[in-house]
Amino acid sequence: MTAATRLSTLAALALATLGIAACGTTTINTDKAESEITKQLDEQVGKGAKVSCPDDIEAKKGDTFNCTATDPDGNKATIVVTQKDDEGNVSWELKQ
């Protein structure tokens, strides 16, 4: 199964919770978010996806932001990250 197929197959199925607040700030540690989401994607769909999230996301309960997962073939999928609180706890879902 190719990485693109794995991303497609798991679209809307991947859901995880992460604690990713930057220490002492009110922003999300997006470097940590990228790392943790990549790790979990690797476990679920295989190695090779790269995750990119925007910088300077304010930690605010209920807000969402999008990251992008790119497989080794260049196929992209959107990851919707939802903030569960204002302390950096989030859940994420892979969308197609």
So what's the pLDDT on residue 2? 54
Q: What is the pLDDT of residues 29-66, one digit of tens each?
A: 889 999 999 999 888 877 788 999 999 899 999 999 99
- Give the domain extent around 38: 3-95
Sheet with strand 64-70: strands edge to edge? 15-19, 89-95, 76-83, 64-70, 50-52
Query: What sign has the CA pseudo-torsion 38, 40, 43, 45?
Result: negative
pTM here is 0.73
Say how many domains are in the chain.
1
Q: What are the distances in angstroms from CA 31 to CA 9, 65, 66?
A: 26, 14, 14
Take residue 58 and report the two structure tokens written for it: 């304010």
